[in-house]
Amino acid sequence: MLSKNRITNQNFYDEYAYFDTFLAEYLKVPENGVDQYIKQMKHAVIDVRDVLPEWDATIERLEKMKARYAHLNNADMSFDDFQGKDEDVVWIRIFLEKISNDADPLSKYSKLKFTYKKRKKSLMQRIKELLG
């Protein structure tokens, strides 16, 4: 009989492999879709964190799942020994649903309109303009 850990980890492993391939196709890259998604998020404008509160949590979750997958994939840990979570599979499925509805962080980010506030000119800048 298979252990609970083995079943949990096998489910996660299979789901993550599919997720990684799906993201690669979605982002139009040959492989490593999760890596590319993280990179695109990290290259985004920092101010987005105020507008999209799930931004940092998504990066953190993706990085943790990527590390978990790598440990299993490289046989650093046994499928029987490694403590995994069923909720990672649920999170991946919800994330895939968000992508299909353009509700994932990168989709939301691409829809944002960034407006940059002009800083008020200092007294010296205004004097220079008047004199210049």
How far apart (Å, rounded) are the C-alpha atoms in residues 72 and 2? 16
Structural domain range at position 30 = 4-131
Cβ neighbors of 109 (< 8 A, separation 6 or more) are 41, 44, 48, 52
Q: What's the 3-state SS for 9-63?
A: HHHHHHHHHHHHHHHHHHCCCCCCHHHHHHHHHHCCCCCHHHHCCCHHHHHHHHH
Pick the more confident residue, 128 or 4: 4
Residue 96 corresponds to which amino acid? L
Read off the pLDDT of residues 29-83 as tens digits, 9 standing for 90 and up. 999 999 999 999 998 876 787 788 899 999 999 999 999 999 899 887 778 876 6
* pTM of the entire predicted model: 0.79
Q: How confident is the model at residue 129 (pLDDT cuts 50, 70, 90)?
A: confident
Share of the chain above pLDDT 70, in %: 91
Domain total in the chain: 1
Q: Is pLDDT at 12 greater than 50 in this prediction?
A: yes
